[in-house]
Amino acid sequence: MSPAANRIPPFTGHPVFAELPETVFESMSRLARQHGAINLGQGFPDGQGPDDVRAAAARALESVSNQYPPMMGLPSLRSAIAAHYRHHQGLDLDPEREVMVTSGATEALAGALMALVRPGDEVVLFEPMYDAYLPLVRRAGGVPRFVSLKPPHFRIEEAALADAFSERTRIVLLNNPLNPSATVFGPDDLALLAQFCRRFDAVAVCDEVWEHVIFDGRRHRPLMALPGMRERTVKIGSAGKIFSLTGWKVGFVMAPEPLMRVLSRAHQFLTFTTPPNLQEAVAYGLAKDDAYFKDMRAELARSRDRLSAGLSGIGFTVLPSAGTYFLTVDIAGLAPDDVVFCERIVAEHGVAAIPVSAFYEGGSVTNLVRFCFAKTDATLDAAVERLAGLFRAT
């Protein structure tokens, strides 16, 4: 063979992924390990999740088949999902036609965008947006149209929707409750969005993975339940958040049958299925009584209050957190921007956090930093103690 035939041609892959940096969650967790820092960056709880749910998974590993389960998910889990959302959110879902199990919400999102976005379709995205959304929209050939939500309230405003929606709008991708700003959209925000979806005949893809992690007596309202939205909404959930077991990667998708048909075609070639013992355990867990959900929220709200009080006590301006595992602080005046701030605190003070600019295209907001409070009191207190040094130094 000639040397030329041996040469590997330059190949950089699809530009969307070739030009993408590593996700901020992985980078910050690596930095946390390198510096032996307390990791309040990537969102995962300190704990092990509910013992009974883990025990159900362990039992199922021995007792149910470990071969491919049905592509749409175990019938027991699909029924449990429908029953769960009927009980908690008043939704009426047909488990056989309108519910599908995925390998995490991440797969559900990727599949939904692959399945629903046609090249050139416009996709409305709300900033701050979860970091997976934009690359997935672009890879699917979608054209992003941004609605920038403004701190500190991050509300949806009519004028911003009017700017973003057009005759070419095919999809709107909403995350409610919203990571990272910890906003829970209320009836007015949702009614406004539903009105635009109906007017422009758009499909709403609703990432509601944080639906159970909401505080201070709030109730989660699925966009799917609003008038005229049932037939045009894809709702996505995740057992990882419901049971504080983020490594499990069991997600669910709920959609009307015509949309589910095409969503299932993407799922069958993405992962096809999800480990059966975890599915069985999630089916068990979704039927847990209301006290579990109430206690989980109360416990997390207590941790939120502890971290919030600790951070305000040492001098931070803390923004409100209505849901999720997160709260954000305003770092204006403490560093030139959020990235510099996060690099500094992980290296010099031993605490990892997430710069919120990672959730904005073009980094239009650079003064907010996200901390995860789903941790033990000791972890939160130690982090606050370390960060106190920051204010002593300035």
> Which chain residues interact with ligand GLN by CB under 6 A?
23, 25, 42-43, 179
DSSP at 334: T
| Nearest residue (beta carbon) to ligand PMP | 104
**Does 360 help bind ligand PMP (rule: CB under 6 A)?**
no
Q: Which is nearest to 328 in space by CA: 179, 185, 216, 211? A: 179
Least spacing, CB of residue 248 vs ligand GLN, in Å: 13
Give the sign of the dihedral formed by CA 385, CA 386, CA 387, CA 390: positive
Q: Which residue has the tokens 């209301």?
A: 290
- Selected from 45, 104, 128, 355, the binder of ligand PMP by CB under 6 A is 104
- Selected from 138, 249, 267, 370, the binder of ligand PMP by CB under 6 A is 249
42 binds, among ligand GLN, ligand PMP, none (CB under 5 to 8 A by kind): ligand GLN
Phi, psi at residue 288, to the nearest 5°?
Answer: -60, 155
Least spacing, CB of residue 25 vs ligand GLN, in Å: 3
Least spacing, CB of residue 35 vs ligand PMP, in Å: 23
Query: Helix 104-116 to helix 257-270 angle, to the nearest 10 degrees?
Result: 110
**Does 251 help bind ligand PMP (rule: CB under 6 A)?**
yes
Nearer to ligand PMP, 173 or 387 (CB): 173
183 binds, among ligand PMP, ligand GLN, none (CB under 5 to 8 A by kind): none
Least spacing, CB of residue 45 vs ligand PMP, in Å: 11
**Does 41 help bind ligand PMP (rule: CB under 6 A)?**
no
**H/E/C letters for each residue in 18-82?**
HCCCCCHHHHHHHHHHHHCCEECCCCCCCCCCCHHHHHHHHHHHHHCCCCCCCCCCCHHHHHHHH
Query: What is the torsion angle, in degrees rounded to the nearest 10, for the CA atoms of residue 357, residue 362, residue 364 and residue 366?
Result: 30
240 binds, among ligand PMP, ligand GLN, none (CB under 5 to 8 A by kind): ligand PMP
Q: Which two structure tokens, joined as six digits, stand for 331?
A: 């770092």
DSSP helix/strand/coil, 333 = coil
| 8 Å CB contact between 57 and 277 | yes
**Does 130 help bind ligand PMP (rule: CB under 6 A)?**
yes
207 binds, among ligand PMP, ligand GLN, none (CB under 5 to 8 A by kind): ligand PMP
251 binds, among ligand GLN, ligand PMP, none (CB under 5 to 8 A by kind): ligand PMP
CA atoms within 13 A on the CB side of 250: 25
| Nearest residue (beta carbon) to ligand GLN | 43
- Got the DSSP string for 347-360? IIISEE-EEGGGGS
Nearer to ligand GLN, 29 or 195 (CB): 29
238 binds, among ligand PMP, ligand GLN, none (CB under 5 to 8 A by kind): ligand PMP
Q: Which two structure tokens, joined as six digits, stand for 107?
A: 């797969």
- The interface region with ligand PMP, picked from 102-110, 146-154, 183-191, 282-290 by CB under 6 A, is 102-110
Per DSSP, which regions of the chain are E strands? 38-39, 99-102, 122-127, 143-148, 169-175, 203-207, 233-238, 251-254, 317-318, 326-330, 351-352, 354-355, 368-372
Contact residues toward ligand PMP (CB under 6 A) are 43, 104-106, 130, 175, 179, 207, 209, 238, 240, 246, 249, 251
